[in-house]
Amino acid sequence: MISRRTFLSILFASCISIISWLNFTPAANAMGGKLPAINQPAPEFTLPTNTGDGKISLSDLRGKWLVLYFYPKDFTSGCTIEARRFQQDLPQYLEKNAQIIGVSADNIDSHAKFCDSEGLNFPLLADTDGSVSKAYGSWLGFLSMRHSFIIDPQGVLRETFVKVNPTIHSSEVLARLEKLQSTAS
């Protein structure tokens, strides 16, 4: 017999998955709002992190490629799968001078527990008021949508992913990052 908390977590994750799969809106206006334009400066942000570094800003990451991924909630099934895949592929991202950063509305204590339980070695940022999620068109009123963005070393948005399958997403991002880097050289 499953606990009430487990049942509610599964129900919540299922609802988010269904909402994500039903996202038939054009890419410029994703379900979470208006997406920032590709080949334009990415929206600046500064958010608290679970890594002990205090806060992380987009400007702190200049000189590196950035995979900025938004997700609904720590400890839910899809979010856990997605985070595990990014962690599994982390050495390949580091070889490509790329930083992975996750963003959700969870607080830094939840992020710290999530990272500890899943062995995550990349920062998670606490967007508790949704301001950064809104700037990236990824806010659903009380949580972040499952969207990802690739930002180049100069802070320019190069790719947007709105229909994300957590199981294969990291490999899709890696393939696109490799292509973007090969054309940028």
What pairing do the DSSP bridges indicate for beta strands 147-151 and 65-70? antiparallel
Q: Tokens representing 178?
A: 């490799």
**Cα→Cα distances 21→16, 80, 172, Å:** 9, 18, 17
Torsion of Cα atoms, 130 then 118 then 92 then 39, to 10°: -10
Say which amino acid occupies 57: S
> Cβ distance 82 to 71 under 8 Å?
yes
Is 79 designated active site? yes
Element (DSSP H or E) covering residue 174:
helix 169-184
Residue of 79, 143, 157, 164 marked catalytic: 79
Active site residues: 79
